[in-house]
Amino acid sequence: MKMHPSELFFYYIPSHTIDKQARAYARSVSRYVNEINIEKEHITTTGWRTILDKLHLRAKDLLNRAHPQYQSHIAGKTWDDESWLHILVKHPYLLKAPIAIKRGKAVLCIKPSEIFKLN
């Protein structure tokens, strides 16, 4: 698969307000935006590992701990690294913010404007 050198990969949930704002900013960062709706696109554990390596984060760092599903099913239990990855694969809607990747550099966009760190 051939990619443009300035292609930006944007992993997001369309219904989240922050994701919508960051998505708009993404188009100003790159003319070539590859949008990945994580509610529809299945990302494997290997895919998540690659993303996490670029972000220099752990799987549990990406999860929204305030989400009711997190509170009722995940909080208070002991999980190993592999289990956190499987949680991310099975429950991508728990992602707390969109992720943008461009030229091997990645950012978790807690604030929509953080996407500008990729310039």
> Does 72 map to a domain?
yes
Asked whether residue 50 is assigned to any structural domain, the reply reads yes
Q: Are strands 8-12 and 33-37 parallel, antiparallel or unpaired?
A: parallel
> Residues 69-109: pLDDT tens digits?
999 999 999 999 999 999 999 999 999 999 999 988 999 99
- CB count in 10 Å sphere of residue 118: 19
CA 32 → CA 3, 10, 51, 57, distances in Å?
Answer: 9, 10, 19, 26
Distance (Å, rounded) from C-alpha 27 to C-alpha 25?
5
Is 1 part of any domain? no
Write out pLDDT tens, residues 17-73: 999 999 999 999 898 999 999 999 999 999 999 999 999 999 999 999 999 999 999
Total count of domains within the chain: 1
Residue 33 resides in a domain = yes
The range of the structural domain enclosing residue 57 comes to 8-118
In a domain, 2, yes or no: no
CATH number of domain containing 112: 3.40.30.10
What are the φ/ψ torsions at residue 36 (nearest 5 degrees)? -120, 110
Q: Can you tell me which residue has the tokens 């760190």?
A: 117
Is position 94 within any domain? Answer: yes
Q: Which pLDDT does position 1 carry in this prediction?
A: 45
Query: Residue 4's pLDDT band (boundaries 50, 70, 90)?
Result: low
